[in-house]
């Protein structure tokens, strides 16, 4: 909060119109280890190219925060690190600028990763992660096993935020990936209900890691980036790529951003394969630029959700579906799990 207030003051007292001669790009992400990683992967290469400083603010670009900034005409962020769904929702509400594809080279990212109001900066997946010491001789290998309390007794964790939760439930219930959308919510709730007493819901990535470290859960539906950090700590924590749920994260540009069009130079630079591989190595966030694959070692590919081996059983999460239904669905889900 103080950081945000400080930023607001800094912008308010900046001499002259901010957009005329922007000297810095302010990027907002979700903080933690991502502060340093974004600086290394995106900030430093961009500064070397353009001379412009990149400031990373870890305040968390929730759609509500962006809307509040735009509504109060006091925008301090140039680029925000949200999901592709957020980009579509914010675009529909008129809170973000369309991506200027005369500056940003659309062909740098893979198919379906460039949208009107957001372009994919990295990819990640929700995966079935587990504690190998606790699950016994055979490891869980599909969402079916997530529901199998006899073979794998113990608590599980799922996320309180809806994206990628019901897909796993429906896959376990036998829904074919190609028939996933629109989600059959009632069917998912029916399948999930008996499992509720065994579930702990996480709300932040750090918390999902902590549940494994504390030995509270034997398996969980968590981001592969967090599973990767857990495995680096202790190889007993690992995950299966089978039936992973593939997400695209995206840069968005809040309407009236301080650096104006300059932000698109930054966005274009962030799509550089080298930058993206750097981020993959630091955080596990996967490149959106297919050319990055050529720069990867086998070790890199093992944590890259779009590596052919990992992507083949993956289910791409439909951003459009969530853009249209998330608010309704999120409230239904919170109501369902708190009953």
Partner 1 sequence: MTSFQRWAFCLTVPAALLTLCLYVLPILQVLALSFTEPTVGLGNYVALFQNAAIGRVVRTTVFVSAVTTVLTIVMSYAVAFALVHMPPATRRVALFMVMVPFWISVLVRAFAWITILRRNGVLNSALVGSGAVSQPLELVYNQFGVIVGMVHYMMPFAIMLLYANLSEIDLRIIQAARSLGARPVSIFFRVWLPLSMPGLAIAGLFIVIFSLGFLVTPAILGAGRVLMVAEYISVQISSTLRWGVATALSTMLLLVVGILIALAMRSPALRAAFEGGRK
Helical ranges in 273-318 per DSSP H: 273-283, 298-302, 308-311
Per CB under 8 A, 198 contacts partner 1? no
Selected binder of partner 1 within 35, 103, 132, 337 (CB under 8 A): 337
**What phi, psi does 247 have (nearest 5°)?**
-115, 150
Q: Which of residues 28-67 bind partner 1 (CB under 8 A)?
A: 62-65, 67
What is the closest distance, in whole angstroms, from the C-beta atom of residue 335 to partner 1 in the complex?
4
Rounded Cα–Cα distance for residues 102 and 105 (Å): 7
Rounded Cα–Cα distance for residues 213 and 232 (Å): 12
Rounded Cα–Cα distance for residues 56 and 30 (Å): 10
**What phi, psi does 111 have (nearest 5°)?**
-65, 140
Quick one: 141 or 234, whose CB is closer to partner 1? 234
Per CB under 8 A, 155 contacts partner 1? yes
Angle, CA 154 vertex, CA 189 and CA 232 arms, to 5°:
105
Binding part of the chain for partner 1, among 29-37, 208-216, 232-240, 309-317 by CB under 8 A, reads 208-216
What is the closest distance, in whole angstroms, from the C-beta atom of residue 49 to partner 1 in the complex?
34
Per CB under 8 A, 178 contacts partner 1? no
Rounded Cα–Cα distance for residues 302 and 291 (Å): 17
Selected binder of partner 1 within 24, 216, 274, 324 (CB under 8 A): 216
Quick one: 147 or 322, whose CB is closer to partner 1? 322
**What is the pairing mode between strands 286-287 and 119-131?**
antiparallel
Q: Is the peptide bond before 182 cis (omega within 30 degrees of 0)?
A: yes
Rounded Cα–Cα distance for residues 275 and 40 (Å): 8
Element (H, E) at 246: strand 237-254
What is the closest distance, in whole angstroms, from the C-beta atom of residue 309 to partner 1 in the complex?
33
Quick one: 47 or 160, whose CB is closer to partner 1? 160
Per CB under 8 A, 200 contacts partner 1? yes
Q: What is the total count of residues that contact partner 1 (CB under 8 A)? A: 27
Per CB under 8 A, 331 contacts partner 1? yes
Quick one: 199 or 311, whose CB is closer to partner 1? 199
Per CB under 8 A, 8 contacts partner 1? no
Contact 269, 46 (CB under 8 A): yes
Quick one: 83 or 287, whose CB is closer to partner 1? 83
Report the interface residues with partner 1, using CB under 8 A: 62-65, 67, 89, 93, 155, 160-161, 200-203, 214-216, 326-327, 330-332, 334-335, 337-339
């Amino acid at each position: 909060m103080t950081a945000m207030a400080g930023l607001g003051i800094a912008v308010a007292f900046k001499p002259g119109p901010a957009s005329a001669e922007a000297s810095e790009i302010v990027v907002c992400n979700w903080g933690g280890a991502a502060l340093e990683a974004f600086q290394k992967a995106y900030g430093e290469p961009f500064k070397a190219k353009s001379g412009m400083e990149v400031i990373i603010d870890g305040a968390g670009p929730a759609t509500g925060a962006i809307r509040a900034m735009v509504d109060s005409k006091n925008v301090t962020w140039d680029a925000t690190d949200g999901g592709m769904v957020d980009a579509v929702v914010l675009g529909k509400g008129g809170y973000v600028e369309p991506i200027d594809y005369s500056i940003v080279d659309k062909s740098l990212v893979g198919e379906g990763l460039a949208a009107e109001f957001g372009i994919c900066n990295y990819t990640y997946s929700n995966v079935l992660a587990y504690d190998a010491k606790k699950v016994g001789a055979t490891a869980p290998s599909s969402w079916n096993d997530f529901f199998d309390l006899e073979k794998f007794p113990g608590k599980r964790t799922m996320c309180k935020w809806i994206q990628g939760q019901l897909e796993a439930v429906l896959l376990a219930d036998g829904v074919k990936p190609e028939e996933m959308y629109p989600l059959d919510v009632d069917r998912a709730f029916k399948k999930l209900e008996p499992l509720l007493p065994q579930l702990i819901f996480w709300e932040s990535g750090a918390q999902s890691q902590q549940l494994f470290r504390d030995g509270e859960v034997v398996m969980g539906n968590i981001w592969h980036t967090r599973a990767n950090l857990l495995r680096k700590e202790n190889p007993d924590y690992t995950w299966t790529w089978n039936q992973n749920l593939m997400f695209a994260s995206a840069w968005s540009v809040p309407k009236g951003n301080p650096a104006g069009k300059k932000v698109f130079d930054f966005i274009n630079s962030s799509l550089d394969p080298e930058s993206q591989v750097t981020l993959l190595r630091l955080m596990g966030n996967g490149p959106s630029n297919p050319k990055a694959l050529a720069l990867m070692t086998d070790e890199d590919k093992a944590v890259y959700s779009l590596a052919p081996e990992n992507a083949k059983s993956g289910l791409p999460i439909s951003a459009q579906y969530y853009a249209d239904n998330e608010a309704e669905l999120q409230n239904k889900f919170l109501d369902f799990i708190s009953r």
